[in-house]
């Protein structure tokens, strides 16, 4: 049988964590977790902007392919659009391929496009046609600290912040 001491150790020898030490540890841990939450939020904002850029690239390449498939219509200027054309402002007499494509452009927030005009290409008999897609990425603006007062116009392609341009040659 084990005999326990009859006289416990004096209080001065007992050591442990005080309430203040525990509270300080909780505060330090909380600050670290808030930093991680902010980092996660920034990551989501950047990821959304990346999604918009990828979608814009896919849409522009799709329009370039449609225009290559209809070479005669492209050279006649039927795909040319005014500045900042949207699905709601499709040009009169636009080919069905352009009208359908403009409807797909609504997947980008504030998405608009400018196509053309054609200019003489580098090779004889060829033409070069610019296709520019712009959009407004509010999350990226908020992440960069932009407000309505200091945000550049959506037509500049900077700070909107989205602009994607391809120049195709026929």
Residues 6 or more apart whose Cβ sits within 8 Å of residue 45: 139, 140, 142, 143
Interval 126-151 mean pLDDT: 72
Among 112, 156, 162, CA closest to 140: 162
Q: How far is residue 4 from each of residues 11, 13, 15, measured CA to CA in Å?
A: 18, 18, 20
34-62 exposure pattern, b = at least 16 Cβ within 10 A, e = fewer:
eeeeeeeeeeebeebbeebbebbeebbee
Model pLDDT for residues 22-56, shown as the tens digit of each residue:
999 999 999 999 999 999 988 887 888 888 889 99
99, 138 contact by CB (below 8 A): no
pLDDT reported for residue 123: 76
pLDDT reported for residue 160: 47
Task: Categorize the per-residue pLDDT at 157 as very low, low, confident or very high, splitting at 50, 70 and 90.
Answer: very low
pLDDT reported for residue 66: 92
Task: Categorize the per-residue pLDDT at 57 as very low, low, confident or very high, splitting at 50, 70 and 90.
Answer: very high
pLDDT reported for residue 5: 64
Tell me the β-bridge partners of 119: 128
Domain limits, the chain? 17-169
Instruction: To the nearest 10°, report the CA torsion of 77, 79, 80, 83.
Output: 170
Q: Name the DSSP class of 127.
A: E
Residue 15 has pLDDT above 80, yes or no: no
Whole-angstrom distance, CA of residue 136 vs CA of residue 151: 11
Q: Provide the whole-model pTM.
A: 0.67
pLDDT reported for residue 9: 57
Whole-angstrom distance, CA of residue 86 vs CA of residue 135: 11
104 three-class SS? helix
Model pLDDT for residues 69-104, shown as the tens digit of each residue:
998 888 888 898 988 888 888 888 889 999 999 999
Residues 6 or more apart whose Cβ sits within 8 Å of residue 82: 89, 91, 114
pLDDT reported for residue 59: 93
124, 115 contact by CB (below 8 A): no
Whole-angstrom distance, CA of residue 80 vs CA of residue 67: 10
Candidate ranges 12-16, 101-105, 139-143; pick with highest mean pLDDT: 101-105
């Amino acid at each position: 049988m084990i005999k326990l001491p009859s006289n416990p150790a004096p209080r001065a020898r007992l050591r442990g964590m005080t309430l203040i030490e525990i509270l300080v540890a909780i505060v330090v841990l909380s600050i670290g977790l808030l930093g991680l939450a902010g980092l996660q939020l920034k990551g989501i904002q950047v990821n959304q902007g990346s999604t918009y850029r990828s979608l814009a690239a896919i849409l522009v390449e799709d329009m370039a392919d449609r225009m290559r498939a209809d070479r005669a219509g492209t050279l006649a200027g039927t795909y040319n659009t005014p500045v900042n054309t949207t699905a709601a402002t499709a040009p009169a007499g636009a080919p069905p391929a352009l009208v359908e494509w403009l409807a797909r452009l609504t997947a980008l927030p504030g998405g608009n496009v400018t196509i053309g005009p054609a200019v003489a290409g580098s090779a004889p008999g060829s033409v070069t046609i610019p296709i520019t897609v712009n959009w407004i990425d509010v999350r990226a603006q908020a992440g960069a600290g932009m407000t309505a007062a200091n945000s550049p116009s959506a037509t500049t392609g900077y700070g909107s912040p989205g602009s994607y341009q391809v120049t195709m040659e026929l």
